[in-house]
Amino acid sequence: MRMNTPHPLKKVLRLRPVVPLALPHRTIRPSSILGYDIPKDTVIIPNLQGANLDEMVWERPQEFWPDRFLKPGKNPKVTSFGCGARVCLGEPLARVELFMVLANLLQTFTLLPEGALPSLQPQPYSGVNLLMQPFQVRLQPRDLGAPGHDQCQ
């Protein structure tokens, strides 16, 4: 079963993937991509974040603009989990988990900033994952007993 990820989650995954580079792959035969010759046995490390921020592919790639995903057929696939035969096997589970955790969090709490809003630029880091600037948020419980809220949990 493939879940249709809500637009804001797609945007977050496109703008700031957890892992900016895919796992290394080795070519099994000579190939070419966009006119670049790639010899057999070349190690390729796909730049997922680079693909997700490519100005030749995405309109205003650095902007948080979830509505871009409302235009049918206008946006390429977000490659945060890789692509093709080597896509992450955990992608469907990760998308469901992201949705469920975020939906439950937003249903139960109002998220309020504590102090200045953090920068959305990753910290300079030479590791596997992107690191964001630390920030604090206050979780204000919602009144789930108010009329209009479902009592089932």
Q: Residues at the annotated binding site for heme?
A: 88
51-69 in b/e burial notation, b at 16+ Cβ within 10 A? bbbeeeebeeeeeeeeebb
Question: Is-contact 41 27, C-beta < 8 A?
Answer: yes
Cα 15–chain centre separation: 6
Cα 45–chain centre separation: 18
Q: Which helix (H) or strand (E) holds 13?
A: helix 7-15
Please enumerate, by residue number, every residue annotated as part of a binding site.
88
Q: Which helix (H) or strand (E) holds 106?
A: helix 91-108
Identify the three-state secondary structure at position 10: helix
